[in-house]
Structures are given as structure tokens and as C-alpha cells.
Amino acid sequence: MDVKIICKDDNYYFRFGISELINEAFLFSANVGFLTGFDSENLAKADIVIISVSLWRLYLCQPAYQYRKSGSVLLVFTEQPDKIIAEHMPVCYQSLTVISWNENVTNIKNKIIKAWLKAHDDPMRDYHPSDCKRCCFSRISLVQLQVMSFLKKGNNVQHTAQFLGLSVKTVYAHKYNVMKKYNIKGDYEFHAFLNTVSLIELYKGVIEDA
């Protein structure tokens, strides 16, 4: 059985470990291969999608996920598994399986098996492109993009309001709504968020259609 994987982590040892786990999970009958490039074309081929990113990135719109293979398994590795509640995330992530970096090999293997069986038992329960229409985590508005752009450049709320012709209250509201959308807590996380993300990612989505 061929198992195609698309993975954000390029670490050789991590990928080798995942290959071994999948082989053990499927009783050494799997021919594991990693696809090159995290894009819509490979997402359409991948049986397993592995993600290792900052938590707030899980709240960003992912347009290319519309092309995910039916019955594919979505795994996310994180140091803060308790903070990930799938039901509160964008629809494309609601079928994900959360794995802690601290979990033992047996637990990880069992989670992969369970996720695989669930995905193939009833693929219709998985994510579908039409689900995006009801998703509340779509791209931010143009005004929010403008506000984030000014704040990202180091302007404070008062200067941002003056430049954009908005009230200070409105700018605070846009900032709050963006923080709420991406589950960002406090100004420290917010500034880390602005320093890390590109504004085009916020407006167009992290992974664009190929």
C-alpha cells in the first residue's frame, strides 16, 4: 500500500520517525513517500497531511485545502495540545488529529491508526470545499488589512486612526476582532503575530490555489 505524505517539517529524523510509525501502524505493508511542496496539487494527492506551526496559524484561511484528497488524514504536532479545540477552528481543520510532541510512540501510532480508520470509514464526514461558505475564519477585510498594515509598521492605535480617517474606538475594534479570529491573547502575542505573518497571508490565505 502506497502512503503519500505532505509535511511542513523538513527535519530528516522527524520524517524518518513518521515513516517508521506508519509502517508499524500498517504492519509494515506501507510504502511511505513524501511529496515535495505544500501546495494544492500535492494536497490533492496526499493521504496524510502533517502540520507543525504556531497555534495562531491554524486559524488562518487555507484556500488550497479545498483540494485535499477525500479521506486524507490531517495531523498537527504541537507543544500545547490543550489549546487546540477542533470545533472552534476553521472548517478545514475540524477533522484534524492533535498530537503532543511529548507523547510516547505508542500513543502517536494509535492516534494515526484511529484517524486513518475514521477517515476511511466515512469520508463524507470529512471536510468538503463547500464547507468554506459557512466558515467564519475567512480572510480578513480590506479595512482590517489596512489597520494591521499600519500597526505592523510600528504605528500606535492613535496614529493609525488618524492616517486612516477612523476613530480610535474603530481601530481598537478591528484589532480586537483580528485577535479574536486568530485566538491571540494579549499585546505580546499580537505583536509576535504581526512580526511573523505577512499581510498578504492574512488577506489572501496562507496557501494559495496553484
* Residue-wise pLDDT tens digits, 6-41: 987 888 888 888 888 888 887 667 788 899 888 888
> Facing residues of 74 across strands?
49
CA distance 53 to 191: 17
Does pLDDT of 56 surpass 60? yes
| Per-residue confidence band for 202, with pLDDT thresholds at 50, 70 and 90 | low
Per-residue pLDDT at 208:
37
pLDDT of residue 167: 95
pLDDT at 209 over 90: no
pLDDT digits (tens, 9 = 90+) for 161-195: 999 999 999 999 999 988 888 878 888 889 888 88
Q: Is the pLDDT of residue 53 over 70?
A: yes
> Is the confidence at residue 207, as pLDDT, over 70?
no
210 pLDDT exceeds 70? Answer: no
Domains, the chain? 2-134 (3.40.50.2300), 142-204 (1.10.10.10)
What local confidence, expressed as pLDDT, does residue 172 receive? 94
pLDDT digits (tens, 9 = 90+) for 116-163: 888 877 655 566 666 666 676 656 778 888 898 899 888 999 999 999
What's the whole-model pTM score?
0.68
Answer yes or no: are the C-beta atoms of 33 and 3 closer than 8 Å: yes
